[in-house]
């Protein structure tokens, strides 16, 4: 008898796949391994997801949806200019601490040509476009310094994805405490964003 009943099996498969894709990578993950970890047959996974690539895309869609929802909460707030940027940075790092597997997945699918990268790009492009337009409007009214908003967004994204690799290296060395690198990277990212965007920051120095 299988470990899980049909109700909720799909979500449990997605959870197991997220862990495996995040920690072992797409190529090193097999449906057999995922099925064994769940105590189900491989056919159970194939009932819900026709291929391993389809399973990865579903994992990416769910993870991206969670990330987008968190970002949109801040974008829809009353915060303006630098305050909203700082709130976004802090929210993303809180999410990284709460859901560390999300960082691992982002690292995996952000590699050029990797499986899932195109799906992530399609899902995140509308949000990036919205963020770019908002930053441009803030620059127009003087609440942000004029710069290339897409370059700033991509630099911030690279910092967050790079954090996943750093945490993985620490854990491979037997260091489980991941709070310190997260705190350091958050502080570095906020300073970078402030220098790049806050028109009053350099005036106060």
Higher pLDDT pick, 179 / 86: 86
Calculate mean pLDDT across residues 196-201. Answer: 84
Residue 55 lies in a domain: no
Residue 102 lies in a domain: yes
Q: What is the pLDDT of residues 43-62, one digit of tens each?
A: 999 999 999 999 999 999 99
Residue 31 lies in a domain: no
Residue 13 lies in a domain: no
DSSP-assigned letters across all residues of 54-115 = HHHHHHHHHHHHHHHHHHHHHHTSS--HHHHHHHHHHHHHHHHHH-HHHHHHHHHHHSTT-T
Give the domain range for residue 121: 60-204
Residue 45 lies in a domain: no
The pLDDT value recorded for residue 3 is 45
The pLDDT value recorded for residue 40 is 92
Cα(24)–Cα(79) distance, integer angstroms: 39
Which pair of structure tokens corresponds to residue 4? 């899980």
Residue 11 lies in a domain: no
Calculate mean pLDDT across residues 95-109. Answer: 82
Residue 112: left (phi > 0), alpha (psi -120 to 50), or beta? Answer: beta
Least confident of 3-7, 66-70, 73-77, 80-84: 3-7
- CATH code for the domain in which residue 98 is found: 1.10.357.10
What's the predicted TM-score (pTM) here?
A: 0.81
Residue 82 lies in a domain: yes
The band of 174, judged by pLDDT with boundaries at 50, 70 and 90, is low
Residue 12 lies in a domain: no
The pLDDT value recorded for residue 129 is 93
Q: What is the pLDDT of residues 3-33, one digit of tens each?
A: 444 448 899 999 999 999 988 899 999 999 9
Cα(68)–Cα(92) distance, integer angstroms: 10
Total domains, the chain? 1
């Amino acid at each position: 008898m299988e470990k899980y009943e049909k109700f909720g099996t799909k979500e449990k498969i997605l959870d197991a796949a997220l862990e495996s894709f995040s920690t072992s990578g797409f190529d090193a993950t097999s449906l057999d391994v995922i099925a064994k970890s769940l105590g189900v047959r491989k056919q159970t996974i194939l009932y819900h997801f026709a291929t391993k690539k389809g399973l990865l895309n579903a994992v990416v869609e769910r993870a991206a949806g969670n990330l987008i929802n968190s970002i949109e909460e801040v974008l829809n707030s009353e915060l303006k200019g630098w305050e909203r940027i700082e709130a976004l940075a802090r929210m993303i790092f809180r999410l990284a601490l709460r859901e560390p597997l999300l960082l691992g997945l982002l690292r995996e699918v952000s590699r050029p040509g990797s499986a899932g990268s195109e799906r992530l790009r399609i899902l995140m492009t509308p949000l990036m476009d919205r963020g770019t337009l908002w930053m441009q409007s803030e620059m127009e009214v003087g609440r942000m310094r004029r710069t290339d908003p897409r370059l700033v967004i991509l630099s911030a994204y690279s910092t967050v994805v790079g954090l996943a690799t750093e945490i993985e290296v620490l854990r491979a060395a037997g260091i489980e405490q991941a709070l310190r690198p997260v705190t350091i990277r958050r502080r570095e990212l906020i300073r970078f964003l402030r220098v790049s965007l806050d028109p009053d920051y350099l005036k106060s120095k």
